[in-house]
């Protein structure tokens, strides 16, 4: 398994273009649900015990196995809101200031007694420091990619349909077992000013996207 950070905003779109579309590239003008139908790829599905927290007042809005839509991902990963209703889910993603705003704020705090040359040198130093900093965006989630060993992929490619089905089931079971371990032992959240306290979570909200390829 490999892990990749997904940023807020449009960071989730690579999932729609490639992972969620299985093999090949999907035209972003094609709705995801229509792509599933046209290409024959199995649709992505929701999973995780955290789905029970997506209550609409009449029970959870999504259940394990429900189909993932583009609108769902845009709301949850792009905006940090309820994937079905669009309502707030806790605190919004923090807005991290771009370099030009950080530079302007630091320049405004410079000592007013600085001479012209001193002030210009200080401003140039501030610019260099801020531009050199790695760009930061709020984290919306994590992309976990589960890849079978090459030897298993080779067996799947030459096996009969029944054996292929068993291999795929084992792969999906391993993925779900990993999700259960993450929920029980790894996943946590932070609360309080600046995320001062680390707290356990009731569950994880996840989507299973992609297909097993030979």
Do 88 and 185 fall within a single domain? yes
Do 47 and 76 fall within a single domain? yes
Do 115 and 200 fall within a single domain? no
Is 213 within a domain? no
Do 204 and 117 fall within a single domain? no
Average pLDDT of the chain?
A: 81
Do 75 and 175 fall within a single domain? yes
Domain that holds residue 13: 2-92+139-208
For residue 189, report the phi and psi dihedrals to the nearest 5 degrees.
-135, 170
- The pLDDT confidence band at residue 27, using thresholds 50, 70 and 90, is low
Do 82 and 184 fall within a single domain? yes
Do 104 and 183 fall within a single domain? no
Q: At 122, which helix (H) or strand (E)?
A: helix 116-132
- The pLDDT confidence band at residue 213, using thresholds 50, 70 and 90, is very low
Residue 35 pLDDT > 60, yes or no? Answer: no
Number of domains in the chain: 2
For residue 202, report the phi and psi dihedrals to the nearest 5 degrees.
-80, -20
Last residue of a domain, one of 117, 132, 147: 132
Name the more confident of 66 and 42.
66
Average pLDDT estimate for 77-101: 85
- The pLDDT confidence band at residue 192, using thresholds 50, 70 and 90, is confident
- The pLDDT confidence band at residue 208, using thresholds 50, 70 and 90, is confident
Average pLDDT estimate for 9-17: 67
Do 11 and 63 fall within a single domain? yes
- The pLDDT confidence band at residue 123, using thresholds 50, 70 and 90, is very high
- Cβ–Cβ < 8 Å for 17, 158: no
Is 58 within a domain? yes
Do 47 and 65 fall within a single domain? yes
Average pLDDT estimate for 21-46: 58
Is 198 within a domain? yes
Dist. CA 29–CA 35, nearest whole Å:
10
The sign of the CA dihedral 17, 23, 27, 32 is negative
Do 33 and 72 fall within a single domain? yes
Average pLDDT estimate for 181-193: 87
Is 56 within a domain? yes
Is 191 within a domain? yes
Do 144 and 198 fall within a single domain? yes
Predicted confidence at residue 214, as pLDDT, reads: 34
Do 29 and 58 fall within a single domain? yes
Nearest 10 degrees: Cα torsion 121, 127, 129, 135? 180
């Amino acid at each position: 398994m490999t892990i990749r950070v997904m940023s807020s905003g449009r960071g989730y779109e690579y999932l729609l273009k490639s992972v969620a579309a299985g093999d090949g590239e999907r035209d972003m003008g094609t709705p995801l649900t229509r792509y599933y139908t046209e290409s024959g790829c199995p649709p992505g599905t929701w999973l995780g015990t955290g789905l029970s927290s997506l209550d609409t007042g009449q029970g959870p809005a999504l259940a394990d196995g429900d189909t993932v839509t583009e609108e769902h991902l845009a709301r949850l990963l792009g905006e940090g809101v309820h994937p079905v209703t669009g309502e707030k889910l806790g605190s919004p993603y923090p807005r991290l200031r771009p370099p030009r705003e950080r530079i302007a704020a630091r320049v405004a705090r410079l000592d007013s007694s600085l001479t012209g040359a001193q002030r210009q040198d200080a401003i140039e130093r501030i610019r260099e420091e801020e531009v050199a900093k790695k760009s930061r965006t709020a984290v919306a989630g994590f992309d976990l990619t589960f890849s079978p060993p090459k030897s298993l992929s080779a067996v799947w490619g030459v096996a009969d349909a029944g054996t292929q089905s068993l291999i795929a089931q084992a792969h999906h079971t391993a993925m779900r077992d990993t999700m259960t371990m993450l929920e029980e032992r790894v996943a946590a959240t932070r609360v309080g000013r600046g995320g001062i306290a680390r707290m356990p979570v009731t569950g994880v909200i996840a989507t299973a996207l992609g297909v097993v390829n030979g």
